[in-house]
Amino acid sequence: MSSEDPREKIKGTPRHFRTHRELHDGREPFFPNFLLKEWIVGAMFIVGFLIWVLLNHVGLSAQANPNDSSYIPVPDWYFLFLYQALKYYPGSGIVFGAFLVPVIITLLLIFLPWIDWSKSRRPFKRPLATGSMVIAIVMMSWLTAEAWAQHQEEMSASSGGSSSSGLPFQVQHPTSTALMSTSMPGYKLFENTCGACHGSNLEGAFGPELRGIGNVASSSQLLPVIQKGFPPNMPPGGGLTNTSQLQQIADWLAAQKQK
């Protein structure tokens, strides 16, 4: 009795005669049987992804502004877990996090077929492969969520516009927009330096709005805040180093008592 499967016989074509054990051991050739299945699944995924892209248009965000020092760049969502992982390797440890860790993980994936010899396709009968995949998915999901949460916190902390973010004073923004004491020397200094971020009329731009700042802070309270700054968005002194000029700006801001 021949051990050849008659369904695989092509008339006039020589065939390799496989034993009964080879026919029923659950194995199949990698090429072309297994590889063909991978190609079919990959082609289906690519076609489905292209259809999704065509049906879901992604609009452009706001035009890039090189003067916006409050902008915090982040990678696309599918790289957020790598972006977050790098935060745990500051300084010289970045070499370990950015190079050695990816290399170790890649080598483990390459040698996994030689580490796990089980032929079973049931996940619970392959604890090493299943456990590794579950841990990888959990870590990637957690790092992605952590990166997004921290990015939202950073955006809230560095948000500019009309908010008083970063100020040690709770400014109640007045309805009046008229500037006070524009004849003071501190006004021109502010306009030429600080006005680029806080607005020439104190309306706020990349820095917080300062209208009514004189209602809650005196000159002596404002001077150390200006001298210290809020790096990296606001450099110490707003870029000025002359103490008398900083004092003039503090005096002028203290005079802004709009209602």
| Number of separate domains in the chain | 3
Q: Which residue has the higher pLDDT, 66 or 240?
A: 240
Query: In this structure, is residue 65 part of a structural domain?
Result: no
Query: In this structure, is residue 213 part of a structural domain?
Result: yes
Same structural domain, 146 and 219 = no
Quick one: average pLDDT of 37-59?
90
Query: In this structure, is residue 67 part of a structural domain?
Result: no
Confidence of residue 39 (pLDDT cuts 50, 70, 90): very high
Q: Which residue has the higher pLDDT, 80 or 97?
A: 80
Domain range for 41: 1-59
Query: In this structure, is residue 173 part of a structural domain?
Result: yes
Q: In the numeric block, which tokens belong to residue 32?
A: 């072309």
* 3-state SS, residue 230: strand
Query: In this structure, is residue 26 part of a structural domain?
Result: yes
Same structural domain, 46 and 102 = no
Confidence of residue 51 (pLDDT cuts 50, 70, 90): very high
Out of 64-73, 97-106, 170-179, 218-227, least confident range:
64-73
Query: In this structure, is residue 247 part of a structural domain?
Result: yes
pLDDT in tens, 128-183: 888 888 998 999 999 999 999 888 887 776 554 434 445 666 666 777 778 888 88
The residue among 205, 202, 201, 236 whose CA lies nearest residue 70 is 205
Query: In this structure, is residue 66 part of a structural domain?
Result: no
Contacts of residues 59-67 at CB distance under 8 Å and 24 or more positions apart, as own/partner, are 67/196, 67/206
Same structural domain, 100 and 146 = yes
Please state whether the predicted TM-score (pTM) of the whole model is above 0.75: no
Quick one: DSSP state of residue 215? Answer: G
Distance CA 107, CA 244 (A): 62
The predicted structure's pLDDT at residue 162: 38
pLDDT in tens, 208-224: 888 888 888 888 888 88
Most confident by average pLDDT, 53-57, 163-167, 168-172, 196-200: 53-57
Distance CA 189, CA 242 (A): 11
Same structural domain, 106 and 174 = no
Distance CA 47, CA 94 (A): 38
Of 141, 158, 175, which residue constitutes the final position of a domain? 158
Distance CA 125, CA 121 (A): 8
Query: In this structure, is residue 91 part of a structural domain?
Result: yes
Same structural domain, 145 and 191 = no
Same structural domain, 152 and 164 = no
Same structural domain, 127 and 87 = yes
Same structural domain, 44 and 4 = yes
Of 158, 176, 193, which residue constitutes the final position of a domain? 158
The predicted structure's pLDDT at residue 161: 40
Same structural domain, 179 and 258 = yes
Q: What is the mean pLDDT of the chain?
A: 79
Longest dimension (CA), the chain: 111
Same structural domain, 243 and 255 = yes
